[in-house]
Structure 1
Amino acid sequence: MRKTDTLQDNRDVIAELKQKDSHFASIFDEHTALDQQINQLDKDLVTHASRDEEIERMKRRKLHLKDEIYKIIDKNKLQSQA
């Protein structure tokens, strides 16, 4: 995968993996849910200020999930080419 590939660039692969790989579907769904939660908390400045540490934990978890998602996508692409 190119460094500039995004999740959107890989939507076909993601759709396929979500259908055939329950682990991938689970981590992708968790990543999406964390993204939505973080965005919601970022919009509420009062809540955001009191939950900075929690938001940072969520962001680290989301990044970890994103790394795992890309590893699975890369592995799937390599297997498809073989």
Structure 2
Amino acid sequence: FAPSRLAAGALYLARRHECPEEDCWSPLLIQTSGYSHAEAKRAGELVAETVQEPLPLVGTKRLTALTRKYASPRYREVSAMSCLRG
């Protein structure tokens, strides 16, 4: 995928996390990114699916530490986002 598509997907997930009840993909984002709401949403789904996949040859201790680290308020509890949990 194009880097811009992955970036749009990541931005979609972040904005969706911040404003779950609102339309998080504004006309300005459509214009500046070049991606429609549906395209950004699908890219976000692909990003979420990708980060849920297990990493080969990585110890579970390391993954547990990363999950704990990014569950802290300092990192806005990103590892606890429901859209990223399997």
Class of the TM-score when normalised by the shorter of the 2 chains? 0.3 to 0.5
Max Rg structure: 1
- Select the structure that is richer in helix: 1
Structure of greater relative contact order (alpha carbons < 8 Å, 6+ residues apart): 1
TM-score (norm 2): 0.32
